[in-house]
Amino acid sequence: MSRIASVLLPMPLPEAFDYAEPEGMDLAVGDQVAAPLGPRLMRGVVVGLRDAVGGNRPLKPLAERLDEPRLPENTLEFVQWAARYAVDAPGGPLAIALRGARAPKPKPVKVLELTGAEPGKLTPARQKVLDAAAAPMSPADLARAAGVSSGVVKGLVDEGVLAVRQIVAEAAFDPPDLSRPGPELNPSQRASAEAMTALLDEDRFGVALLDGVTGSGKTEVYLEAAAHALAADPTAQVLILLPEIALTQAVIGRVAARFGAQPGEWHSDVAPPARRRTWEAVASGRCRIVVGARSALFLPFLNLRLIVVDEEHDSSFKQEEGFIYHARDLAVVRGRIEKAAVVLASATPSLESLRNAETGRYRWLRLAGRHGIARLPDIELVDLRVTPPETGRWLSPPLVTAMAETLARGEQTLLFLNRRGYAPLVLCRACGERMTAPDTDSWLVEHRYSGRLVCHLTGFSMPKPDRCPHCGAKDSLVSIGPGVERVEEEARLLFPEARVAVFSSDTVFDAREARRLVESMAAGDIDILVATQAAAKGHNFPKLTLVGVVDADLGLRGGDLRAAERTYQLLAQATGRAGRRDRPGKALLQTYAPDHAVMQALAAQDRDAFVAAEMEEREFARLPPFGRLAAVVASGTDPGQLDAFVRTMAEAAPNAEGVEVYGPADAPLGLVRGRRRKRFLVRADRTVDLSAYMATWRARVKPPASVRVAIDIDPYSFL
Ligand code: ADP
């Protein structure tokens, strides 16, 4: 009997399509196939096979089974689970899972090899080439290695002593060396590592929250757990997720040092051919350790035993565009599907994870304090109402004094300001016009390095004009407020002899540049680093003893659900960079609100009191982690149609116990890329299946072609 194959395509289609399996194709679930869709052939994945029973209308046959690795069933189950949870088409997460499979294959390269033939005449230069040619390499590399001109190499090729061969460079993915000892763990680290290895030995799904201050050795502890997982099973794979590309670089270095082998690297900055190699090596089980950003969670692991989510509280784990998901939450789901251990590590865990630890759903592993003699920094609040900076400056006298002392001791300062560019606002002195993006509700940010005004939301940019576009006044545009570039300018003015650098996503645009800057900071080649959050997290800079937070109040101004929590986490992280070795550290927080609960908790280093107060507020309001939230953003180019649609949508909201629907309301960001935006917010009790509720609601309405509807389960952005 012939069979029907259900094929999932990486496109926004509601479900898998059925095709006929041609005679002899012999498909299995997970196979990649070429499926006809309209006039085209699309790459898809077989998610189901069943016998064809008579009477069905004839189905189109599949064109081909691709000679590509099969997607493991667990990966497929994960993709489908993620889609249902996000109330989105499974094609979105499937596209992420296939990203590596669809990347171009690495191109073959030309290498030279010894043929065994003797050269007619053996000069010293030729001898050098023959010695260097033991390993195959490109003609240019060979000439360089031998220290001879390319003519010498060419002569040997012409004589047939060397022959050209095309090879596709295979990434080595050497097996980890598990005989290397890790550091001697201190008692509380050992207790946590043992709890994790016990979890791994149970060989079933379980989650541990690894909770320890910055510098307590969380990385050492989870690397120990990774070593255990890899040693227990020769096919075991380990995934370490990090929120930022810059952080992956540091952890890749530590993994390589611990296991004597490079891990697979996975993030948006990995070149497509390398991505392809890593994807295939993960699918074949050859690559056993992956360090990556959130999308690494969708790789086709064969035997994933341990997932580590480092800095688990970080909101960068939330993907806000395209397929919307939170990698920490999905890591727990993937762990359940794989029956693997999941470790969530943080110095400032999210309230969600803390709640799960409090209620016993997660094992709570607490590390006592900083490892060895390193101490947490002293944190002082600088009341900007009492000691303000001079006009047009951003660094207050107490901070400047502390910087001077730090420099004099030959130590390093980190100035933290979570604002890219030179100035967050440009306005006209003559008419008061604020420079905004043409099709988006946002101010244009001035960037001095590039000389442009940039919309951080959409990427729109334009040269800074010399006349006000509104009133035409010449040279009337003034820069308001500081970004990192402006603070850098001030630091250079104050300390002309100091070596000052900036670290933000505009100045450090790829992984290599990030690594270079992190290394020169670690080596002490920089005196003052001005950085956004890109550098404020996770790094170890031994000579960094002063952290100055330029605007501690910045994160509190938005006022959303997590504003206080996020500010606390970010500032605890940033201040935690100071004094990580034997030198005591200090952090100064510049604030206009020293009495705010967040500032008080930071100064007193009393995380538990802050968390308790915040939990109480959330519980009272029945907000996460005590309730669930979902957002709907409807956007459209035609305001009339959008208004009519959101009214219909409001009426169509299903009635359900324990669910409240708020809205529609104009989104705070009312216009993005020319589209007007309206929002609903849904709050539900924890017992409600919110995804099912949202799916029912969505199925009841059909937006007109000009309107797009995006559902965001557990939103982090309320804009
Ligand atoms: P965290 O991940 O909690 O911020 P790390 O694992 O980065 O902490 O540890 C901070 C520093 O202390 C690192 O340089 C690390 O190598 C060192 N360290 C931590 N634990 C030990 C240990 N048991 N023995 C030696 N060095 C350690």
pLDDT of residue 113: 86
SS3 sequence of 277-326: HHHHHHHHCCCCEEEECHHHHHCCCCCEEEEEEECCCCHHHEECCCCCEE
Asked whether residue 220 falls in the same domain as residue 347, the answer is yes
Cα-to-centroid distance, 187 and ligand 1 (Å): 13
Q: Which DSSP string do the residues of 10-24 spell out, in sequence order?
A: SSS-SSPEEEEPPTT
Q: Is residue 493 domain-shared with residue 569, that is, in the same domain?
A: yes
User: Which pLDDT belongs to residue 573?
Assistant: 84
Same domain, 581 and 648: no
Give a yes or no: residue 86 inside a domain: no
Give yes or no: residues 362 and 217 share one domain. yes
Are 237 and 274 in a shared domain?
yes
Omega before residue 664 within 30° of 0, cis: yes
- Pocket test of ligand 1: the residue of 194, 367, 371 to mutate, having most ligand atoms within 8 Å of its CB, is 371
Return the pLDDT at 283: 95
- Does residue 579's CB lie within 6 angstroms of at least one atom of ligand 1? no
The verdict on 359 and 233 lying in the same domain is: yes
**Ligand 1 atom nearest to CA at 310:** 2
Is 267 touching ligand 1 by the criterion CB < 6 Å? no
Residue in the structure block whose two tokens are 């009477």: 55
Instruction: State if residue 215 touches ligand 1 by the CB under 6 angstroms criterion.
Output: yes
Is 466 contained in some domain? no
pLDDT of residue 415: 95
Q: How far is CA 121 from CA 115, 124, 127, 155, in A?
A: 16, 10, 10, 11
Is 95 among the domain residues? no
Residue 553 and residue 591 in one domain: yes
Residue 94 lies in a domain: no
Kindly state if the Cβ of 539 falls inside 6 Å of ligand 1: no
Dist. CA 406 → ligand 1 center (Å)? 24
Ligand 1 center from residue 371 Cα (angstroms): 6
289 Cα–ligand 1 center, Å: 20
Domain that holds residue 394: 378-419+482-615
Distance 219 CA to ligand 1 centre (A): 7
| Ligand 1 atom at minimum distance from 213 CA | 3
Residues 518, 604 within the same domain? yes
Residue nearest atom 20 of ligand 1, based on CA coordinates: 217
| Rounded distance from Cα 375 to ligand 1 centre (Å) | 12
State how far Cα 174 lies from the chain centre. 25
b/e code 117-127 from CB counts within 10 Å (16+ = b): eebeeeeebbe
The reply to whether ligand 1 has any atom less than 6 angstroms from the CB of 32 is no
SS3 707: strand
In our burial notation (b when 16+ CB lie closer than 10 A, e otherwise), range 617-653 reads: ebeeeebbbbbbbbbbbbbbeeeebbeebbeebeeeb
Q: Given ligand 1 and candidates 219, 242, 539, 544, which is best to mutate, with the most ligand atoms within 8 Å of its CB? A: 219
Q: Which atom of ligand 1 is nearest to the CA of 221?
A: 6
Cα(241) to centroid(ligand 1), Å: 18
Ligand 1 geometric centre to CA of 354 (Å): 23
Question: In the prediction, which pLDDT does 255 show?
Answer: 95
Task: Compute the C-alpha angle 445/677/421, nearest 5°.
Answer: 10
357 and 400 share a domain? no
User: Which of 188, 214, 220, 581 to mutate to test ligand 1, by most ligand atoms within 8 A of the CB atom?
Assistant: 220
250 φ, ψ (degrees, to nearest 5): -65, -40
Residue 329 covered by a domain: yes
CA distance 653 to 693: 9
pLDDT confidence of residue 373:
63
Q: How far is the CA of 519 from the centre of ligand 1 (A)?
A: 17
How many domains is the chain partitioned into structurally? 5
> Is 633 domain-assigned?
yes
Please give the number of the atom of ligand 1 that sits closest to the Cα of 185.
23
CB atoms within 10 A of CB 565: 22
For residues 320 and 192, membership in a common domain is answered with yes
- Tell me, what CATH number does 340's domain have? 3.40.50.300
Burial per residue of 319-347, b for 16 or more beta-carbon CB atoms within 10 angstroms, e otherwise? beeebbbbbbbbbbbbbbbbebbbbbbbb
CB of 183 closer than 6 A to ligand 1?
yes
Q: What is the pLDDT of residue 581?
A: 63
**575 pocket-lining for ligand 1 (C-beta < 6 Å):** no
Distance 529 CA to ligand 1 centre (A): 22
Domain contains 209: yes
Q: Are residues 406 and 516 in the same domain?
A: yes
Same domain, yes or no: 510 and 546: yes
Q: How far is residue 104's CA from residue 275's CA, in Å, rounded to a whole number?
A: 9
The CATH number of the domain where 643 resides is what?
3.30.70.600
- CA–centroid distance, 537 to ligand 1, in Å, is 15
**Domain C-terminal end among 20, 48, 72:** 72
* Pairing state between β 109-114 and 162-167: antiparallel
Q: Residue 387 in contact with residue 398, Cβ under 8 Å?
A: yes
- CATH code for the domain in which residue 65 is found: 3.40.1440.60
pLDDT of residue 493: 97
Q: Name the residue at shortest CA distance from atom 19 of ligand 1.
A: 217
Residue 451 CB–ligand 1 contact under 6 Å: no
Taking CA atoms only, the protein residue closest to ligand 1 atom 4 is: 215
If you take atom 9 of ligand 1, which residue's CA is the nearest one? 217
Q: Is 647 within a domain?
A: yes
C-alpha to C-alpha distance for 583 and 594, rounded to whole angstroms: 27
Q: What is the pLDDT of residue 57?
A: 66
Low-confidence ranges of the chain (pLDDT < 50): none
Q: Which of the listed residues 302, 334, 367 is the one where a domain comes to its end?
A: 367
Q: Provide the CA 473 distance to its chain's centre, in angstroms.
A: 43
Q: In the prediction, which pLDDT does 54 show?
A: 59
